[in-house]
Amino acid sequence: MFYTVAWHTSLGIFVVGLLYKTTNWFRHKVGPDADGISTSRRISAAARGIVATVFSAKIGTLLKIFLMDVLLQRWLMKKDVLRWLAHICIYGGFMLLLLMHGLDKLVTAALFDNYYSTLNPFMFLRDLFGLVVIVGIGISLYRRLMSKAPRPKSTGVDYYAIIILAVIMISGVLLEGTKIVSHSRYQEMVDEYAGLDDPEELGALEAYWVDKFGVVSPNVKKPFDNQTLKEGKLLHEMSCADCHSRPQWGFIGYGAATVIRPVALSLDRADVQNLLWYLHFLACFLGLAYLPFSKFFHIFSTPAFLLVNAVVKEGESDPANVATRDAMQLDACTHCGDCTIRCSVAVAFNEIPNPNILPSEKLAAFKAFLGGKKPSAKRLTKIQEGSHICTDCHRCTDVCPIGINLEFLWSNLNRKLAQLGYPKPEAWAREAMGGDFNLTNFKEEPLSLTPVDKEFAGELTGSAQASTFSVCFGCQTCTNVCPVVESYENPKEVLGLLPHEIMHCLALKQKELAIGSNMLWDCVTCYMCQERCPQGVRVTDVLYELKNLALKHLKKKAA
Amino acid sequence: MKFAIFLGCNIPIRLKQYETASRAVLEALGVRLVDIREFNCCGYPLRNIDLKAFVLSSARNLALAEKENLNMLVLCKCGYGAFRMAEHLMKENAKLREEVNAILGKEGLRYEGDTQIKHLLSVLFNDVGTKTIRERIARPYENLRIATHYGCHALRPSGVVGFDDPVAPTIFDQLVEATGAESSEWSMKLECCGAPLLGTNDELSRKFTEKKLADAKRAGANYLATGCPFCQIQFDTMQQAIESEGGTNHHVPAILYPQLLGLCMDIDKAILGLHNTQIDIAGVENFLAREPGRKST
């Protein structure tokens, strides 16, 4: 009952989840060209596209991609043989386990008349496949621990997936181990299948199973005399051998059984194997239900993307299908982190701990723009900062093992940010700071000579040069040589404060005035002012640091 | 002569010809280049956002070159300026250097300040020398007038970057003249191209570019020579935009110095990428002397 309900519930969630996630591919709009194309049009274009492709020469391309890239994962082998081995072990081993063991009633029993999970070769193969998965996990752990290259932090998504997988594997091994040693399990089987009444015969069979099959019995103990074992063997061959190979063939479970042998009787009395059974099945069902929403969705999305990307081409294919392909990219990411390892600005993350700097994490941020709801101002500021630190160097796109056009995603992320009023931080700060510290407000009232912000001068600590403003004697050379000032007929109107006035503000510790000036954002950083200053004030460098402060102020405000 | 070549973020994707032309010219002049794949952003774009993130980003590259015991050859003026500034800041502020090194130490790197930072033009002028360059010229230019654009971040602040005399620089002009071309005198030679404002204040950015183009034209220049991807892209695409939007056609196409030099050294035109610009610069070929082998002195 529990089993049936749990199985159907999780299967139901899995199917609905899969459908929901798949429809996202037809709903989400990534590029600007996708805006005018409806979901229904995209679904019908996809259906037509699939039919047309399957009945064309392109089917050869698809088959080749399916064999080489989906099944054999050639793209990964080309990158790193050890990583390929790890991945193929985990995915191959787990698939085989799923088909032969997890779905045995549907698959294995249908194919083989003599299928029993406790019979060879099935018993041996189950543990062999399990071993393959464990080897794969071992290699990836080794790679993660040994790798010196900075890599993206594993996130919650990665951990949930790994935890569920680990629980399935460990509970499975322990379940097999406790079953091998369990006397009560042995007793149940004897009652059901042996049909023995004679206590001597029962004793002989039990002795044989304790001796050869690892059962831990509260009744009989080793060593046994040969006569008893011989009799036990006869009875075993009559009643048990048809369905039971020696448990040593299930070598991992048998290893576990050997370890737990000293406490086997207590475990059996506490019915731990039953508990493990629940755990094992619950983990499997949970894994199944959670799969479409987890990192493991890539089992479906990545192959689907690889196939679609092989045949859908910009300019040639229906724009509706291009839009769908673009949306699929967001789900095709396996969070392998190659992009982040190669990212040109990832190093900045050490100083600006915003995960949206890293391409592997920024991709997840993109999804915030796909629902109908506008993300919070705090979230938008965070994404804006991360997204605009990117220098568009294209390296992430070049290394993505499955060919996601990340550069395309980033330019659209910036487009969507700008649409919501969050353009490049420098352009944004120009507007936002003007609003915060409107200089016209200051005109009317006399400035207080009591420092507005005593800490202010202390904030310009990035380098010793920022304190050079204090030797300014007001000659205005900086302003006179500034090509920005020169560009405007009435520069004060546009720029707020001119360079020499900003230096005055610093001396007067007028933080608001200094960081509120538009001059900061119009500075071309040509260093004319600094070069010509007779007093050695590092004017441009001070302006740079004031920009840092202004952006920090805005960041604080958004948080 | 061996250098770690620093390409930065822009060149490999938006100005590939600067890389291929530089490599070809340097190879012909006996300069060996080493590629360090782990190089990252020079830090320049981070300066507006966070000073320490900028220095860290710069320092990581310098530490990588230092580990290989190599000096840096930088193609970009802004990158060059950023490296020199980071170097300066870390020399001046020991605490900052230690903080940066603590982060770099996590991946086994350390910045000590042993690596020399050079721009392509300073390597060509100081390490190769105009004499060697002249000897390698197959067909010099005749009647070609070039306006040299020095680029702000290589020239200033002079105390930090030390590229050339900030008021009357001559390196670039001498390099141009080594090709047989004439370096035009123009009053806006040392001014900004406008690129740093692109995306923040496009109108002002364009104004800067237009002023310079008009001045170069006034001085009678046929081409504007650059040694920086930001300046080159700004002069090329902005000039194209001004023209296509019905503005003045200034007719002063921008050419990268290694393209200019490579052509008269008889380097394959495909490698120099003369056709990869918005405004075609292949016409510069018409200024090559008809008689090969003439050596200017």
- Contact list in B for residue A433 (CB cut-off 8 A) is none
Looking at the complex, does the CB of residue A343 fall below 8 Å from at least one CB of chain B?
yes
Please indicate whether, in this complex, the C-beta atoms of B204 and A150 are within 8 angstroms of each other.
no
Closest Cβ–Cβ partner in A427, A465, A540 for B199? A427
Residue among A304, A346, A354 nearest A327 (CA): A304
Q: Clarify whether residues B39 and B141 are in a common domain.
A: no
The pLDDT assigned to B296 comes to 46
Closest Cβ–Cβ partner in A347, A524, A544 for B51? A544
The pLDDT assigned to A140 comes to 85
Q: Pick left, alpha or beta for residue A83 (phi over 0 → left; psi -120 to 50 → alpha; otherwise beta).
A: alpha
Q: Clarify whether residues B42 and B183 are in a common domain.
A: no
DSSP strand pairing (B223-226 vs B182-183): unpaired
Residue among A129, A103, A90 nearest A253 (CA): A129
Closest Cβ–Cβ partner in B45, B47, B108 for A148? B108
Which of B155, B189, B201 best probes binding to A when mutated, by most A CB atoms within 10 angstroms? B201
Closest Cβ–Cβ partner in A344, A394, A538 for B40? A344
pLDDT tier, A196 (very low <50, low <70, confident <90, very high otherwise): confident
Estimate to the nearest angstrom the gap between the alpha carbon of B101 and the chain centroid.
Answer: 29
Alpha carbons within 13 angstroms on the beta-carbon side of residue A62 total: 17
Closest Cβ–Cβ partner in A394, A464, A544 for B48? A544
Nearest-Cα residue of chain A relative to residue B166: A531
How crowded is residue B254: how many other Cβ atoms within 10 Å of its Cβ? 27
Concatenating the DSSP letter of every residue in A161-199 gives HHHHHHHHHHHHHHHHHHHHH-HHHHHHHIIIII----H
pLDDT tens figures, B154-196:
999 999 999 999 999 999 999 999 999 999 999 999 999 999 9
Q: Is residue B297 part of a domain?
A: no
Reading the block at residue B239, the tokens are 């000039």
φ, ψ dihedrals at B251, nearest 5°: 55, 40
Q: Clarify whether residues B137 and B277 are in a common domain.
A: yes
DSSP state, B141?
Answer: B
Nearest-Cα residue of chain A relative to residue B39: A344
pLDDT of A455 over the 60 cut: no
Reading the block at residue A52, the tokens are 């047309």
Q: Which of B119, B142, B173 is the last residue of a domain?
A: B119
pLDDT of chain B, 297 residues: tens digit per residue: 999 999 999 999 999 999 999 999 999 999 999 999 999 999 999 999 999 999 999 999 999 999 999 999 999 999 999 999 999 999 999 999 999 999 999 999 999 999 999 999 999 999 999 999 999 999 999 999 999 999 999 999 999 999 999 999 999 999 999 999 999 999 999 999 999 999 889 999 999 999 999 999 999 999 999 999 999 999 999 999 999 998 888 889 999 999 999 999 999 999 999 998 889 899 999 999 987 655 444
DSSP strand pairing (B117-119 vs B145-148): unpaired
Element (H, E) at B117: strand B117-119
Q: Pick left, alpha or beta for residue B247 (phi over 0 → left; psi -120 to 50 → alpha; otherwise beta).
A: beta
Instruction: Give the strands of the sheet with B145-148, arranged side by side.
Output: B182-183, B145-148, B223-226, B254-256
Residue among A323, A336, A259 nearest A75 (CA): A336
Location of structure tokens 């007093």? A535
Q: Clarify whether residues B140 and B282 are in a common domain.
A: yes
pLDDT tens figures, A18-30:
999 999 999 999 9
Q: Which of B61, B88, B119 is the last residue of a domain?
A: B119
User: How many domains does the structure of chain B reveal?
Assistant: 2
Q: Is residue B292 part of a domain?
A: no
Look up the CATH number of the domain holding residue B85.
Answer: 1.20.1050.140
pLDDT tens figures, A458-469:
566 544 566 788
For chain A, the average pLDDT equals: 89
pLDDT tens figures, A501-537:
999 888 887 777 888 889 999 999 999 999 999 999 9
User: CB-based contacts of B165: which residues, under 8 Å, 6+ apart?
Assistant: B158
Looking at the complex, does the CB of residue A266 fall below 8 Å from at least one CB of chain B?
no
Q: Distance, in angstroms, between A384 CA and closest chain B CA? A: 12
Q: Clarify whether residues B74 and B146 are in a common domain.
A: no
Whether the upstream peptide bond of residue A223 has omega within 30° of 0, thus cis, is: yes
Q: Mean per-residue pLDDT for A315-326?
A: 94
Q: Distance, in angstroms, between B141 CA and closest chain A CA? A: 32
User: CB-based contacts of A406: which residues, under 8 Å, 6+ apart?
Assistant: A339, A359, A363, A396, A397, A400
Can you list the positions of beta strands (E) in A245-348? none
Residue among B172, B170, B74 nearest B118 (CA): B74
Instruction: Give the strands of the sheet with B2-6, arranged side by side.
Output: B32-35, B2-6, B71-74, B117-119
φ, ψ dihedrals at B223, nearest 5°: -140, 160
Q: Is residue B211 part of a domain?
A: yes
Q: Clarify whether residues B91 and B110 are in a common domain.
A: yes
Q: Clarify whether residues B145 and B253 are in a common domain.
A: yes
Q: Is residue B136 part of a domain?
A: yes
pLDDT of A556 over the 90 cut: no
Q: Clarify whether residues B141 and B280 are in a common domain.
A: yes
What crossing angle do the helices spanning A39-54 and A2-27 adopt, rounded to 10°? 100
Q: What is the residue type of A194? A: A
Q: Clarify whether residues B75 and B135 are in a common domain.
A: no
pLDDT tens figures, A117-132:
898 899 999 999 999 9
Looking at the complex, does the CB of residue A175 fall below 8 Å from at least one CB of chain B?
no
Q: What is the residue type of A458? A: G
Q: Clarify whether residues B141 and B95 are in a common domain.
A: no
The pLDDT assigned to A157 comes to 72
Nearest-Cα residue of chain B relative to residue A529: B157
Q: Clarify whether residues B205 and B240 are in a common domain.
A: yes
- Contact list in B for residue A527 (CB cut-off 8 A) is 152-153, 155-157
Which of B10, B41, B103 best probes binding to A when mutated, by most A CB atoms within 10 angstroms? B41
Residues of B contacting chain A (CB within 8 angstroms): 9-10, 12-13, 40-41, 45-53, 56-57, 60, 89, 92-93, 96, 103, 106-108, 152-153, 155-158, 166, 191-192, 194, 196-197, 199-201, 204, 207-208
Q: Is residue B246 part of a domain?
A: yes
Residue B11 is part of which domain span?
A: 2-119
User: CB-based contacts of B172: which residues, under 8 Å, 6+ apart?
Assistant: B121, B148, B150, B164, B183, B225, B227, B257
Q: Is residue B16 part of a domain?
A: yes
Indicate the range of A32-41, A59-68, A443-452, B237-246 predicted with least confidence.
A443-452
Q: Is residue B294 part of a domain?
A: no
Reading the block at residue B88, the tokens are 């300066």
Q: Is residue B73 part of a domain?
A: yes
What residues form DSSP beta bridges with B119? B74
Q: Clarify whether residues B97 and B149 are in a common domain.
A: no
Please indicate whether, in this complex, the C-beta atoms of A464 and B92 are within 8 angstroms of each other.
yes
Please indicate whether, in this complex, the C-beta atoms of B53 and A351 are within 8 angstroms of each other.
yes
pLDDT tens figures, A390-441:
999 999 999 999 999 999 999 999 999 999 999 999 989 888 887 666 665 5
pTM for this one? 0.89
Please indicate whether, in this complex, the C-beta atoms of B208 and A483 are within 8 angstroms of each other.
yes
User: CB-based contacts of B151: which residues, under 8 Å, 6+ apart?
Assistant: B77, B78, B193, B226, B227, B228, B231
Give the span between the Cα atoms of B287 and A104, in whole angstroms: 80
Location of structure tokens 């680029």? B151
Look up the CATH number of the domain holding residue B146.
Answer: 3.40.50.11810
First to last CA, chain B: 25
Closest Cβ–Cβ partner in A343, A391, A524 for B208? A524
Please indicate whether, in this complex, the C-beta atoms of B157 and A540 are within 8 angstroms of each other.
yes
Looking at the complex, does the CB of residue A545 fall below 8 Å from at least one CB of chain B?
yes
Q: Which of B119, B140, B156 is the last residue of a domain?
A: B119
